[in-house]
Copies of this chain bind each other. A is one copy, B any other.
Amino acid sequence: MIYFNCDYAEGACLEILEKLNETNFLQLPGYGEDVYSKKAKEKIKKLCESHAADVHFLIGGTQTNMIVISSILKSYQGVISADTGHINVHETGAIEATGHKVLVVPTSDGKLTSEDILKVYEEHYNDPVREHVVQPGMVYLSLPTEGGLLYSKRELESIYETCQKCHLPLYIDGARLGYGLVSPQNDLTLSDVAHLCDVFYIGGGKIGALIGEALVITNSNLQENFRYHMKQKGGLLLKGRLLGIQFDVLFENNLYFNLARHAVDLALELKDAIANSGYSFLYDSPTNQQFPILPNDLTNQLLHKYSFLVWKKIDENFSAVRLVTSWATKREDVLELIKDIENYKK
C-alpha cells in the first residue's frame, strides 16, 4: 500500500531524529525553559522579522487553536471562521468547550474575505439589541485552507486592514503553512504573514516534525501570561526540549522550507499529469493537497494499491478524492500513481 492519505504517516525527518539522538542525555530544564527552545524561538523571531514577538511551542493543532482562541476572547465573544474552518468541523467542539461560539461564514471555497468579516461586524453593531447576540471578537483563517488554497498578499492585507479597523485580532492557523509558503503561486513571506496578523502558528507535525507547532504572538496585547493559559489547558510539555530541539533543527539551513518544497513539487507534478489526463479538480490547489475529480471506477481501482480519501461525491459516476504528498513522499510513488491514472484513460 502506498500512502497519499496524509502528510503525517512517517516519523520525523532525519535531521530531527539525529538531533534528538545527539542531545538525548543532556540534562535540561523542563517546561520549555531549555536552551534549545530558546534558540529555536530566536530563529523564528528573526525569520519573522518580529523581535518583540512571543514564541511558544505546543503539541498539536486542536490544542493550539483552543488555547489561542480562548486566551483572546471575552466570555461573550465568538470567533469568525469560514464554514469549512477546522475549528468548526473537525475539533469535536473544542472551541465551544472553552465557552465560545464559532461565528460561521458561508463560503464557496473555504476562503474568508474582507467583506465577509465586515458584514458580520456591521450586522452585530447595527443590531439595536446586540447584547442578545454573540459579539464577534476575533477572526480565524487557515493558510493554506482545508482545500489547499492560498491567500494572496493583497487579500491578506485587505483582511488584516478590516480586522484592525474592526478591532478584531486575526489568528492564522498554519498547520500546513510551510506547504503554502513554498508554493509557486504564493507571494507571501513568513515575515509578511507575521506582520499581517496578530498571532499565527507554524505547523511542524505535518511538515517533518515528530510532534509540535510553533505559535508566534506578534501583537503584544495578546502575549501577557500566555504560559498560564498553556498550563491550564494541558499544553505545557514536561520535556519541552522535545519541541525546542525540533524547531531548532527545522529552522536551520532552510530545512523547513526544503521539506515543504519537496512535497509541493511532487503535488504539482501529479496535478499537471492528472489535468493532462483530462480530469478537473474540486479546488485549484497550488499546495501539497490535490483534489482531482475522478471516475469512481478509476478510484476504486487505485484504492487497491494506494491509500487516500474519497473526499466528496460529485455525481453518480464521479467523486473528488484527496491526494496528499508530504516531505517524505517518494517521487517514484508519484510517478507510479501518474502512470496508473494515465493508463486508465487509454
Contacts and interface: CB of A to CB of B under 8 A. Distances in A.
18 contacts: A8-B239, A9-B27, A11-B26, A17-B21, A59-B234, A62-B232, A62-B236, A75-B229, A76-B92, A89-B133, A92-B231, A94-B231, A96-B99, A135-B228, A211-B237, A211-B238, A211-B242, A233-B233
A120 interface: no
A261 interface: no
B20 A131 contact: no
A253 interface: no
Nearest to A31: B129
A10 B31 contact: no
Given A17-B20, A76-B228, A132-B236, 20 more contacts: A9-B28, A9-B29, A12-B24, A20-B20, A66-B234, A75-B98, A76-B225, A91-B231, A91-B232, A92-B231, A93-B99, A94-B233, A96-B99, A96-B101, A96-B134, A99-B99, A101-B102, A104-B104, A131-B225, A131-B230
A63 interface: yes
A290 B6 CA distance: 47
Interface string A214-235: 0000000000010111111111
Interface string A161-203: 0000000000000000000000000000000000000000000
B8 A24 contact: no
Interface string A28-65: 11110000000000000000000000000001111110
Interface in A57-110: 59-64, 66-67, 70-71, 74-76, 78, 89-94, 96-102, 104
Is the contact region of chain A dominated by helix, strand, or loop, or is it mixed?
loop
A320 B109 CA distance: 32
A99 B101 contact: no
Contacts of A235: 63, 234
Contacts of A25: 10-11, 328
How many of these chains are in the complex?
4
A322 interface: no
Scoring A60, A64, A92 by chain B CB atoms within 10 A of each residue's CB, the highest score goes to A92
Contacts of A91: 132, 231-232
Interface residues of A, number: 76
A257 interface: no
B131 A236 contact: yes
Interface of A: 1, 3, 6, 8-12, 14, 17, 20-21, 23-31, 59-64, 66-67, 70-71, 74-76, 78, 89-94, 96-102, 104, 129, 131-135, 205-206, 210-211, 225, 227-239, 241-242, 328
A298 B120 CA distance: 30
Contacts of A225: 74, 76, 131, 135
Given A206-B238, A234-B60, A236-B131, A93 B70 contact: no
